[in-house]
A and B are shown apart, each in its own frame.
Chain A
Amino acid sequence: MRNSVLLGAVLAAAPLAATAAPETYVVDPIHSFAYFSIDHLGVSNVRGRFNKSSGTFTYDGAAKTGSVEMVIDTASVDTGDHDKGSRPRSRDEHLRSADFFNVAEFPQMAYKSTSVKFNGDAPAEVEGQLTLLGVSKPVTLKIERWVCKDHPMRKKPMCGGDASATLKRTDFGMKYGVPGIGDEVRLSINFEAYKQ
């Protein structure tokens, strides 16, 4: 009798588990940033980040499915060069011009996943298309850290982690300054997102 009740309960719950919708998470812009690093004159790596971004991702660890959509405000590029001193323009102003991010014409860059590979129940690699300067090219994000838990104070479910990718900026038509300013850009992204 007891066994049949348990069996009934399991059978009743099974369809629910199988059809559980992936959870949607909204990226927290205060704790999520895309950093970049690029070679300068073969001497050092200049680093910067984008201060404004938004996005969502879906995640279903049991079904091993997920998706990502991110939008970055290119005008928010920030390499820490805020004091132009005697120079007419700062590096960030130059980066916003048509030479690089061309923010007047392309105010946003976007990333949309096409597939997510899992390692266990955690996403390990995201394949997708990055659209920058009107050009869409495949870019693979490696998820180096993935944690899901409740926020310790707000008690709200959250997921976050660190991801990285490399791309060639000339693939997107950003050719100015190559090779003095490197072609390969290394991206490093930290993200936190709350369950919707």
Chain B
Amino acid sequence: MQSAVVPLLVGLAVAAVLLPIRLSGLAAVAGFLAAVVLIGNFSFATLTATRKLVVVAVAAPLLGVILDTAFKPTRLAGVVLGVLFGAAALWVFWSVLAQQPFAHGLRLGAGVAALVLWTVASTLPLHADPVRAGAAGVGLGVGAGIGAVLGASALIGQYGIAVGAASGGFLLLVMTLGRRVRAGASLVLSVSAGAALLACAAVLLAQLPWTAAAVLGLVPLAVRLPLPARMHAGIETVIAVFYALAPAAACWALAWAASRTAA
């Protein structure tokens, strides 16, 4: 309920309410925040990695709003933002990375930064396509969420599922009203930075294998697969979500396989 139904309804409501001012893309972060509030594990008092993650995931769409209103996101902007969020990921997980032996910590840090950089940079160009952007949100969020549950963290899992469900709420509006619902950088930065960080958290703070997290990096590519021309937005959306869930399913399969061999 608190990680799926409520975020979906909040995502749908926020997407609908903010439609006239073209900020429906804030649906994803609104649903995510609803889950954070309901699960009730957030506090500024001790900024653990999971709590820093929430801070960055909330800041990402605000940056997206600035980008949507002041600039037109370019391919270069995707790389620049990817580097920015990659660096933010190192800040989020520094307390874990710093405790590792130097070489291992360096490898983990490089992996975290690379996954976040790639996911953000490859998802940003979808900002103008609400169907593909929303579908990427579902695939990345639900993928990271269920992957985290299989990796032993229900909290990270609930956060991820909330991102996916809120993206689903956004897509319900797209299915109803068509492509005039704007995703914008506010949606794609929410789902890409948020879900990539959650996948990294599931690796570092639980037991999701790296391979499973890395497969989620294919979601932004999968949603670029061709959609049938001149079809109703609802059908396009269903197909795009199907594309997005294929890498997510691969992530779950890898996570499950790893759980069979782990001690």
Contacts and interface: CB of A to CB of B under 8 A. Distances in A.
Contacts of B18: none
A98 B41 CA distance: 11
B150 A89 contact: yes
Given A173-B48, A176-B154, A176-B155, A88 B255 contact: yes
Nearest to B94: A105
B150 A105 contact: no
Contacts of A96: 152
Nearest to B260: A88
Contacts of A148: none
B119 interface: no
B41 A133 contact: no
A134 B52 CA distance: 14
A105 B96 contact: yes
A173 B45 contact: yes
Contacts of A134: 46, 48
A30 interface: no
B96 A104 contact: yes
The size class of the interface chain A forms with chain B is 10 to 19
B152 A176 contact: no
B46 A133 contact: yes
B208 to A, nearest CB: 10
Interface string A76-102: 000000001000110001101111001
A109 B255 CA distance: 29
A173 B154 contact: no
Interface in B117-157: 149-156
Given A97-B153, A135-B46, A105 B205 contact: yes
Nearest to A98: B205
B59 interface: no
Contacts of B201: 98
Contacts of B48: 98, 102, 105, 133-134, 173
B95 interface: yes
A107 interface: yes
B3 interface: no
A76 to B, nearest CB: 14
Nearest to B100: A104
Interface in B200-246: 201, 204-207
29 contacts: A88-B150, A88-B151, A89-B150, A89-B152, A93-B207, A96-B152, A97-B153, A97-B156, A97-B206, A97-B207, A98-B48, A98-B50, A99-B155, A102-B48, A102-B205, A105-B96, A107-B99, A133-B46, A134-B48, A135-B45, A135-B46, A173-B41, A173-B43, A173-B45, A173-B46, A173-B48, A176-B39, A176-B41, A176-B154
6 closest residue pairs by CB, A with B: A98-B205, A89-B152, A88-B259, A97-B153, A97-B206, A93-B152
Interface of A: 84, 88-89, 93-94, 96-99, 102, 104-105, 107, 133-135, 173, 175-176
Interface of B: 39-41, 43, 45-46, 48-50, 95-96, 99, 149-156, 201, 204-207, 255-256, 259, 262
